[in-house]
Chains A and B, each alone.
Chain A
Amino acid sequence: MIRHSREWGLGLGGSITVAFVAMAVLAQFWTPYDPALLAIGDKLQPPTWQHWCGTDQLGRDVLSMIMAGARNSVGVALLSVVIGVGIGVPAGLIAAARRGMSDEVIMRGNDLIFAFPALLLAILITAVAGPGAVNAIIAIGIFNVPVFARVTRGGALDLWSRDYVLAARVAGKGRLAISFEHLLPNLAGLLLVQGTIQFSLGVIAEAGLSYVGLGAQPPSPSWGRMLNEAQTLTALAPTLALFPGLAVVLFVLGLNLLGDGLRQRWAQ
């Protein structure tokens, strides 16, 4: 019974995630309307057959903007996870393999990043390099690094005590070879789960940064900015905030269900 519902969560989460990613990919080639096309005459329409999610204060099609926003959201979250994995995983493997001073330096560096509020760093980067999607990716990516480094190090330390690692050492393999041939494949599941969780946090962070104007800049649409713009018009057009808000909630929920399902599958 419990097992059954767990599978159900995994399936539902996976479906939602796939749907949003597909939407993002689709938006690359086609959206119902040009999300940047202004049609002041059609502004603030409620959902109709022409505009499924209505139009905003400038007459842009909200569905098209959400689709284009998904592209932005998926892109930023994915690339920031890639940054986190790309730097964090090797750092964690090195810390576990070398121990001693390297371990201390890497892990204390992690603590330093952890101690820094994410938003503050994003503002810092923006102040130096100007706002934009790339800077959002870098800011979120930097915060993924210590997460992956810790998860990798913890998992790797456990694996280092296994007899098959001993056997590999007796077979003359160095720490680097063991890290890549034995540890990494056995940590893949763990990292996949963590990656899903960081992905969902990345979606939220991207929405948050663009909400305060530090993410993707106009005319490139993003869920966070749509919410920001809708905020002032809540009384006038209540559905305007509904759809981008729903998109964030649904996507994050789907990713969390997926991550949870994967984690439980992994634990078995």
Chain B
Amino acid sequence: MSTPLLSVQSLGVEIDAVAVLKRLSFVVERGEVLGLVGASGSGKSMTALALMQLLPPRARQSGAVQLNGVELGGMRAAQLQQLRGRQIGMVFQEPMSALNPSMRIGDQVAETVLLHGAASAARARVMARESLDAVGLTGTEGALDRYPHQLSGGQRQRVAIAIAIVLGPALLIADEPTTALDVCTQAQVLTLLCDLARSRHMGLLLVSHDLAVIAEYSDRVAVMQAGEIVDECVTTPTLHHLTHPYAKALLAAAVLAPKRAASAAAAAPSAAVLEVRGIVRDHALPRRSLWRAAGAFRAVDHATLVIHRGETVGLVGESGSGKSSLLRAILGLEPLQAGEVQLLGESLSRATGRTQRRLRRSLQAVFQDPYGSFDPRWSVEQLVSEPFHLLDVPPSAAERRRRVATALEQVGLSPRDASRRAHEFSGGQRQRIAIARALITEPKVVVFDEAVSALDVLVRAQILELLAGLAERLQLAYLFVTHDLAVLRAIADRMYVMQRGRIVEEGPTLRLLTAPEHAYTKMLVAATPRLAVELTASARGNR
């Protein structure tokens, strides 16, 4: 039996006597893609750093890391420098900060060659061109002379990959390489990485928090929890070989579809609670000349959507598609250039004063960032009761406390949490506080702006379960704005697809996911990695 490309034997890392990695053992063969998956803080990135021997100075490593049978632990700095780049290539999450903004991309790729003294300047330039060719970045004149800011996020990540592979390393480590990218770009970049690994006979260690990504692109999968690999198996579309309880929980969370009684909306269309008719949002562009009128960028172009009582509706689109602008327009945070927003049969966009406050009580929102959504100086009670500002007569202190307690209990928190501050809570708990704040005025519609995108998959599943339960109990309608089809697959009854400010397709979630009509929807659906179990999940049947 030949030696594997990378062999890790009971690798342990301690930082200040705290074990962050424990008894890690795995191998990566040549031409193989090993997916390393786990929640944030499970030690995925630390593993990648340990393989590169780039651990923080206080860290102590034990166990063996062997590349082609050569032990890396205890190597001198000069040897390791030769090793990194030449033997091991690495691709990071953030494509912008991984590149030097003031250097042409061709030079950046060539620099790696020159730093290793691997070739002459002229030869390095040829190698840079070949490498950029391999990642699909050449073809146009002057392609190598571009600067990072002239490239899109996906192209920048391609440059980072070109740098990583230019010296033909045996092992490539990609740490969340597509987390910062749009879904279509993600598919392209991941396909590229895997194709390169197979065609060049490289080992690829793909680190991700997303089980669906790992399932679609890896050959084998290893699941990490709290610094340990708890489960490992050959990748199948359903990952049914995973046996460890934690791995199974991750899998279940990833394919979650909260069970609900067939929603009233799906059975028989009831009254519309929110109607958005042909709204237009223009963002003023900076004035080019003092004498010419300032131009405008049309972020939302005659968008129309309807949400019925108790219905969960999704709005999906890539970043820059105008979905956030549409959402802010619906919430009345920005002026409309045309169109109307109707809430409960009354015009919200034309309402002022008392009427506007009364209507806004019925329309509340939960925002994306669980860390930025709360004033750091306010207590949870102050935060949750802030929407009482919409009431004509503010409730008494006792009444306010009672209603805050009720709202906190509704979202699974304790009334005792009211006196604490938001920073004392975890990300998932904070999102619960944000939901409590949205529920305090007993709204009919709650809008979610990427509200679960920043959460770990297990926490996300809990929040989605909570929301499904609340919707049923309180007859709430939801509008979920997201770039992530997986979220909508789990909970949305109906979906709108947005591209370049226009709504291009609309329909029941299941139909859009299985039989999309518009070309853009087709592309989105095809690009979204998914676990095969989802489509056969029984939970979908009762929709």
Find out whether the CB atom of A164 lies under 8 angstroms from the CB atom of B360. Answer: no
Q: Hey, which chain B residues are within 8 Å of A186, CB to CB?
A: 375-377
Q: Hey, which chain A residues are within 8 Å of B389, CB to CB?
A: 171-173, 177
1/0 contact string of B340-371 vs chain A (CB within 8 Å):
00000000000000001100100111011100
Find out whether the CB atom of A170 lies under 8 angstroms from the CB atom of B360. Answer: yes
B331 at the interface (CB under 8 A from A): yes
B258 at the interface (CB under 8 A from A): no
1/0 contact string of B81-115 vs chain A (CB within 8 Å):
00000000000000000000000000000000000
1/0 contact string of A140-176 vs chain B (CB within 8 Å):
0000000000000000000000111011111111000
A182 at the interface (CB under 8 A from B): yes
Q: Hey, which chain A residues are within 8 Å of B71, CB to CB?
A: none
User: Closest approach, in angstroms, between the C-beta of B361 and any C-beta of chain A?
Assistant: 8
**Could you tell me how many residues of chain A have their Cβ less than 8 Å away from some Cβ of chain B?**
15
Q: Hey, which chain B residues are within 8 Å of A182, CB to CB?
A: 375
A109 at the interface (CB under 8 A from B): no
Chain A stretch 66-88: residues in CB contact (< 8 A) with chain B = none
Find out whether the CB atom of A171 lies under 8 angstroms from the CB atom of B372. Answer: no
Q: What residue in chain B is nearest A181 (Cβ atoms)?
A: B375
B390 at the interface (CB under 8 A from A): yes
Find out whether the CB atom of A170 lies under 8 angstroms from the CB atom of B373. Answer: no
Q: Hey, which chain A residues are within 8 Å of B367, CB to CB?
A: 163, 166-167
Q: Hey, which chain B residues are within 8 Å of A185, CB to CB?
A: 375, 377
1/0 contact string of A182-196 vs chain B (CB within 8 Å):
100110000000000
A49 vs B254: C-alpha distance when bound (angstroms): 83
A168 vs B363: C-alpha distance when bound (angstroms): 13
Find out whether the CB atom of B376 lies under 8 angstroms from the CB atom of A170. Answer: no
Find out whether the CB atom of B390 lies under 8 angstroms from the CB atom of A172. Answer: yes
Find out whether the CB atom of B387 lies under 8 angstroms from the CB atom of A164. Answer: no
User: Closest approach, in angstroms, between the C-beta of A202 and any C-beta of chain B?
Assistant: 28
Find out whether the CB atom of A171 lies under 8 angstroms from the CB atom of B368. Answer: no
A164 vs B371: C-alpha distance when bound (angstroms): 9
Find out whether the CB atom of A163 lies under 8 angstroms from the CB atom of B372. Answer: yes
Q: What residue in chain B is nearest A159 (Cβ atoms)?
A: B375
B386 at the interface (CB under 8 A from A): yes
Q: Interface size for chain B: under 10, 10 to 19, 20 to 34, or 35 or more residues?
A: 20 to 34
Interface-central residue, A169, A172, A185, by most chain B CB under 10 Å: A172
Q: What residue in chain A is nearest B331 (Cβ atoms)?
A: A170
B437 at the interface (CB under 8 A from A): yes
A185 vs B383: C-alpha distance when bound (angstroms): 14
User: Closest approach, in angstroms, between the C-beta of A166 and any C-beta of chain B?
Assistant: 6
User: Closest approach, in angstroms, between the C-beta of B375 and any C-beta of chain A?
Assistant: 5
B246 at the interface (CB under 8 A from A): no
Find out whether the CB atom of B333 lies under 8 angstroms from the CB atom of A167. Answer: no
Find out whether the CB atom of B372 lies under 8 angstroms from the CB atom of A164. Answer: yes
Q: Hey, which chain B residues are within 8 Å of A168, CB to CB?
A: 375, 386
Q: Hey, which chain B residues are within 8 Å of A167, CB to CB?
A: 365, 367, 373-374, 386, 434, 437
- Once A167-B365, A167-B437, A186-B375 are accepted as A-B contacts, the answer to whether A172 and B357 lie under 8 Å apart by CB is yes
Chain A stretch 29-85: residues in CB contact (< 8 A) with chain B = none
Q: Hey, which chain A residues are within 8 Å of B434, CB to CB?
A: 167
Find out whether the CB atom of B390 lies under 8 angstroms from the CB atom of A171. Answer: yes
A163 vs B360: C-alpha distance when bound (angstroms): 18
Q: Hey, which chain A residues are within 8 Å of B331, CB to CB?
A: 169-170
User: Closest approach, in angstroms, between the C-beta of A7 and any C-beta of chain B?
Assistant: 22
Interface-central residue, B367, B369, B375, by most chain A CB under 10 Å: B375
Q: What residue in chain A is nearest B360 (Cβ atoms)?
A: A172
A224 vs B271: C-alpha distance when bound (angstroms): 78
A167 vs B364: C-alpha distance when bound (angstroms): 9
Q: Hey, which chain A residues are within 8 Å of B360, CB to CB?
A: 170, 172
User: Closest approach, in angstroms, between the C-beta of A170 and any C-beta of chain B?
Assistant: 5
Find out whether the CB atom of B365 lies under 8 angstroms from the CB atom of A172. Answer: no
Q: Among A163, A172, A173, point to the contact of B373 (Cβ < 8 A).
A: A163
Find out whether the CB atom of A171 lies under 8 angstroms from the CB atom of B387. Answer: yes
A162 vs B386: C-alpha distance when bound (angstroms): 16
Q: What residue in chain A is nearest B440 (Cβ atoms)?
A: A171
User: Closest approach, in angstroms, between the C-beta of B393 and any C-beta of chain A?
Assistant: 14
User: Closest approach, in angstroms, between the C-beta of A229 and any C-beta of chain B?
Assistant: 50
Q: Hey, which chain A residues are within 8 Å of B363, CB to CB?
A: 170
A177 vs B333: C-alpha distance when bound (angstroms): 15
Find out whether the CB atom of A170 lies under 8 angstroms from the CB atom of B364. Answer: yes
User: Closest approach, in angstroms, between the C-beta of A45 and any C-beta of chain B?
Assistant: 55
User: Closest approach, in angstroms, between the C-beta of A223 and any C-beta of chain B?
Assistant: 39
A162 vs B369: C-alpha distance when bound (angstroms): 9
User: Closest approach, in angstroms, between the C-beta of A268 and any C-beta of chain B?
Assistant: 13
Q: Among B333, B356, B357, B369, point to the contact of A169 (Cβ < 8 A).
A: B333
User: Closest approach, in angstroms, between the C-beta of A167 and any C-beta of chain B?
Assistant: 6
Q: Hey, which chain A residues are within 8 Å of B365, CB to CB?
A: 166-167, 170
Q: Hey, which chain B residues are within 8 Å of A163, CB to CB?
A: 367-369, 372-373
A168 vs B331: C-alpha distance when bound (angstroms): 12
- Once A167-B437, A169-B333 are accepted as A-B contacts, the answer to whether A162 and B387 lie under 8 Å apart by CB is no
Q: Hey, which chain B residues are within 8 Å of A171, CB to CB?
A: 386-390, 437
User: Closest approach, in angstroms, between the C-beta of A156 and any C-beta of chain B?
Assistant: 14
Q: Hey, which chain A residues are within 8 Å of B387, CB to CB?
A: 170-172
A168 vs B364: C-alpha distance when bound (angstroms): 11
User: Closest approach, in angstroms, between the C-beta of B104 and any C-beta of chain A?
Assistant: 33
Q: What residue in chain A is nearest B376 (Cβ atoms)?
A: A186
A76 vs B356: C-alpha distance when bound (angstroms): 49
User: Closest approach, in angstroms, between the C-beta of B80 and any C-beta of chain A?
Assistant: 28
Q: Hey, which chain B residues are within 8 Å of A169, CB to CB?
A: 331, 333
A182 vs B373: C-alpha distance when bound (angstroms): 12
A154 vs B144: C-alpha distance when bound (angstroms): 38
A185 vs B388: C-alpha distance when bound (angstroms): 20
Q: What residue in chain B is nearest A188 (Cβ atoms)?
A: B377
User: Closest approach, in angstroms, between the C-beta of B158 and any C-beta of chain A?
Assistant: 30
Find out whether the CB atom of B364 lies under 8 angstroms from the CB atom of A162. Answer: no
Q: Hey, which chain A residues are within 8 Å of B368, CB to CB?
A: 163
A185 vs B421: C-alpha distance when bound (angstroms): 15
User: Closest approach, in angstroms, between the C-beta of B441 and any C-beta of chain A?
Assistant: 8
Chain B stretch 515-529: residues in CB contact (< 8 A) with chain A = none
What 3 A-B pairs come out closest when comparing CB atoms? A163-B367, A171-B387, A163-B373
For the A-B complex with A172-B360, A172-B387 known, give 8 more contacts whose Cβ atoms are closer than 8 Å: A164-B383, A166-B367, A170-B364, A170-B387, A171-B388, A171-B437, A172-B356, A182-B375
CB pairs A–B below 8 angstroms (16 shown): A163-B373, A164-B373, A164-B375, A167-B367, A167-B373, A170-B331, A170-B333, A170-B360, A170-B364, A170-B365, A171-B388, A171-B390, A172-B357, A172-B360, A172-B390, A173-B389
Residues of chain B touching chain A, judged by Cβ–Cβ distance below 8 Å, are 331, 333, 356-357, 360, 363-365, 367-369, 372-377, 383, 386-390, 434, 437
Residues of chain A touching chain B, judged by Cβ–Cβ distance below 8 Å, are 162-164, 166-173, 177, 182, 185-186
